[in-house]
């Protein structure tokens, strides 16, 4: 079974792609539990086998995953079962894309310098499912976290960060989280958003994008001033229309958004949109390791 009612065009395509990848690699099909607690066989799942860790592309990635689980932060929303069994999930995808880079910070520096300019002199660490302040009122006062968190030293000698939200087949149809006054406070104080934007930002499909961006803003403006530089990256496939529509709607809430050009100021907002396949193809120009090609084939197919 690979059909799921409610799949978008992209998620249906991606689910089929993961099923085909599973079959090609001869991984036994797995199951998931629905809301009724029933075990459902579905093609984008593999059997639970923590020792083989077939959801990850290399031995290095498997070791980074195991180390992250061993030392996961308090409150981190990492499901071991989901990580190891759901081929479609964006959580294992984040490891498949960034774990090798976390072990080669020289390559990470060269690549991220290409992506975001010379503000990044040296990448010093890459970790997963991180927030400095889960539930802390000095931050965004919720339990949001970045899928990938990168620390760097800037050309000016400042300590900086990149908070990355990774999406793959998500439709952004989830119900918004419980609203907190802290969201409006951070939004207003930042000076980045239009004065009448709050009611729009509270609603799907952009509420989660907003909260993740606010988490980045709160890290940068925290009174402890751990970071002098930093920004947020929303990383997703260009063909995921729901994600594209979401960010298109979101950036229109910025003061710097120009309706004539459909552009906004990345530097001033600290909000960067990156399309995943183009992101990885840029990495491929620097890194000829087999795992990059495996990633592209796994998540985008040979002819996509």
DSSP-derived secondary structure for 251-281: HTTBTT-BTTTTB--HHHHTEEEEEHHHHHH
- Residue 1 falls inside a structural domain: no
Structural domain contains residue 3: no
Q: Residue 112 domain-assigned? A: yes
Residues 6+ apart with CB under 8 A from 145: 73, 76, 77, 129, 130, 131, 134, 215
Domain membership of residue 4 (yes or no) is: no
- Does residue 93 lie within any of the structural domains? yes
Domain count of the fold of the chain? 1
Residue 51 lies in a domain: yes
Q: What is the pLDDT of residues 242-281, one digit of tens each?
A: 999 999 999 999 999 999 999 999 999 999 999 999 999 9
pLDDT at residue 2 is higher than 90: no
Residue among 260, 280, 253 at smallest CA distance from 187: 253
271: left (phi over 0), alpha (psi -120 to 50) or beta: beta
Look up residue 261 and give its two tokens: 């050009």
Domain assignment of residue 171, given as a range: 9-300
Q: Does the residue 17 lie in any domain?
A: yes
303 band by pLDDT with thresholds 50, 70 and 90? low
User: Are 226 and 170 within 8 A, CB to CB?
Assistant: no
| Residue 234 is assigned to a structural domain of this protein | yes
Looking at residue 114, its pLDDT comes to: 95
Tell me the pLDDT tens digit for each residue of 3-61.
788 899 999 999 999 999 999 999 999 998 888 888 889 999 999 999 999 999 999 99
Please give the model's pTM, rounded to 2 decimal places. 0.96
């Amino acid at each position: 079974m690979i059909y799921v009612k409610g799949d978008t065009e992209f998620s249906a395509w991606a689910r089929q792609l993961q099923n085909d990848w599973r079959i090609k690699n001869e991984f036994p099909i797995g199951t998931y539990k629905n809301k009724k607690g029933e075990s459902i066989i579905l093609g984008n799942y593999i059997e639970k086998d923590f020792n083989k860790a077939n959801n990850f592309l290399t031995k290095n990635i498997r070791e980074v995953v195991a180390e992250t689980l061993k030392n996961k932060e308090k409150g981190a929303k990492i499901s071991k079962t989901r990580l190891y069994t759901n081929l479609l999930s964006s959580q294992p995808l984040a490891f498949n894309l960034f774990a090798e880079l976390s072990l080669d910070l020289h390559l990470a520096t060269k690549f991220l310098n290409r992506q975001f300019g010379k503000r990044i002199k040296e990448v010093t660490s890459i970790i997963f499912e991180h927030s400095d302040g889960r539930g802390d009122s000095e931050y965004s006062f919720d339990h949001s976290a970045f899928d990938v968190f990168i620390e760097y030293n800037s050309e000016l000698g400042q300590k900086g960060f990149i908070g990355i939200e990774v999406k793959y087949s998500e439709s952004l149809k989830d119900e918004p989280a419980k609203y907190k006054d802290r969201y409006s406070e951070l939004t207003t104080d930042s000076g980045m958003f239009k004065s009448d934007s709050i009611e729009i930002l509270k609603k799907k499909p952009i509420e989660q994008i907003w909260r993740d961006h606010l988490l980045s803003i709160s890290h940068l403006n925290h009174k402890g001033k751990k970071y002098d530089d930093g920004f947020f990256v929303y990383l997703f496939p260009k063909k995921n229309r729901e994600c594209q529509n979401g960010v298109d709607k979101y950036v229109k809430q910025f003061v710097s958004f120009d309706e004539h050009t459909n552009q906004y100021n990345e530097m001033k907002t600290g909000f960067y949109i990156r399309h995943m396949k183009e992101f990885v193809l840029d990495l491929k120009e620097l890194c000829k390791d087999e795992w990059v090609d495996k990633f592209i084939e796994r998540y985008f197919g040979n002819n996509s």
